[in-house]
């Protein structure tokens, strides 16, 4: 029987380290500052923004939120970002996505000063990631690497398979694993015999956005499986098929109308895997923790003060 990876515990460890670094910077006269820009009233985005703002303040950072109406234009949003780029007390800028359809998201995200791009998505930071010199790395992939390190998973010489090739998770986690001297294969919907490719993995990262699609037939005995998926399942029949009579899942469904499911069929994979991330409580908590770490790194870099790695 495999072991669950406790992402919440790892995230709390990282946040504790971030809080200590933020205190050290404040003692040197620098308070890390995060600006979060939200356009419109997307309920999920509002929840994410509140969580990011609350966490940053809990860790001793300065935080500002900019709530803009849904009809905001690209030009207006660009002007907001330009103003934030120019403010020395703001070290990290996060524009919450998705943006409304009339906004050119690429133009907006590329307008963020790369030194304040705490999401790590600016082309300059992507180039640095490819070169292995990025200080501000995409938060979810960076969190996965931290999780693997803190659970003592050997990376050097391991065979890693990434299912998914998104710019947000698939490509950057493949690069980070490569920089850790893993042998990396990226798979996707056009990969022939995907199961056979996945079964070669010592470390299997699944980020395809389809609920419980990866079962034990994709997994080598003793593999470490990282489930990045976050899918809503609102069918009582489907929930029972995946979780049986699990009272927590039944309560979730009754209270919220859905339960969160990863891309991995955990019930079938856990007995075969060595380690597996749960959903929720696995990769998710690491994303905000690494965002906070990036903000502290950006503040330290701006003040030319050494900071934790």
The pLDDT tens digits for 275-296 are 999 999 999 999 999 999 999 9
Question: Is 200 one of the annotated active-site residues of the chain?
Answer: no
Question: Is 248 one of the annotated active-site residues of the chain?
Answer: no
Q: Which long-range contacts (CB under 8 A, 24 or more apart) does 277-280 make?
A: 277/4, 277/5, 277/7, 277/147, 277/225, 277/226, 277/227, 278/4, 278/5, 278/7, 278/227, 279/227, 279/229, 279/230, 280/230
pTM, full prediction: 0.95
Per DSSP, the three-state class of 182 is coil
pLDDT in tens, 36-68: 999 998 888 898 899 999 999 999 999 999 999
Which pair of structure tokens corresponds to residue 138?
């995409």
Which residue in 119, 252, 263, 265 is the catalytic one? 119
Q: What percent of the chain has pLDDT over 70?
A: 99
Q: Please choose, from the candidates 213, 105, 223, the residue with its C-alpha nearest in 3D space to the C-alpha of residue 168.
A: 105
d(Cα 173, Cα 158) in Å, to the nearest integer? 14
Which residue in 15, 52, 116, 171 is the catalytic one? 52
Q: Which domains does the chain have, with CATH numbers?
A: 29-113 (3.40.50.10860), 139-284 (3.40.50.720)
Question: Is 119 one of the annotated active-site residues of the chain?
Answer: yes
Q: What residues pair up with 203 in beta bridges, in sequence order?
A: 160, 224
pLDDT in tens, 188-236: 989 999 999 999 999 999 999 999 999 999 999 999 999 999 999 999 9
């Amino acid at each position: 029987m495999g072991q669950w990876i406790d992402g919440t515990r790892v995230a709390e460890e990282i946040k504790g380290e971030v809080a200590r670094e933020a205190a050290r910077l404040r003692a040197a006269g620098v308070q890390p500052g995060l600006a979060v820009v939200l356009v419109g009233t997307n309920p999920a985005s509002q929840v994410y923004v509140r969580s990011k703002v609350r966490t940053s303040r809990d860790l001793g950072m300065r935080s500002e939120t900019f709530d803009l109406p849904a009809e905001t234009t690209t030009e207006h949003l660009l002007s907001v970002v330009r103003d934030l780029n120019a403010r020395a007390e703001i070290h990290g800028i996060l524009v919450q996505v998705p943006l409304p359809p009339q906004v050119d998201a690429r133009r907006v995200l590329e307008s963020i000063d790369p030194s304040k791009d705490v999401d790590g998505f600016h082309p300059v930071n992507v180039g640095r990631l490819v070169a292995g010199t990025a200080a501000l790395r995409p938060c979810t992939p960076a969190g996965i690497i931290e999780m693997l390190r803190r659970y003592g998973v050997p990376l050097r010489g391991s065979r890693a398979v990434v299912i998914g090739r998104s710019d947000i998770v698939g490509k950057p986690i493949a690069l980070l694993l490569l920089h850790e001297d893993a042998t990396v294969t990226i798979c996707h919907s056009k990969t022939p015999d995907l199961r056979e490719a996945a079964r070669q993995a010592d470390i299997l990262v699944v980020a395809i956005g389809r609920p419980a699609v990866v079962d034990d037939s994709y997994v080598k005995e003793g593999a470490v499986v990282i489930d990045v998926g976050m899918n809503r399942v609102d069918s009582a029949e489907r929930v029972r098929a995946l979780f049986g009579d699990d009272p927590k899942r039944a309560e979730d469904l009754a209270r919220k109308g859905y339960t969160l499911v990863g891309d991995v069929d955990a019930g079938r994979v856990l007995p075969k895997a060595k380690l597996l991330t749960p959903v929720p409580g696995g990769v998710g908590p690491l994303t905000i923790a690494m965002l906070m770490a990036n903000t502290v790194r950006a503040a330290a870099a701006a003040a030319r003060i050494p900071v934790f790695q």
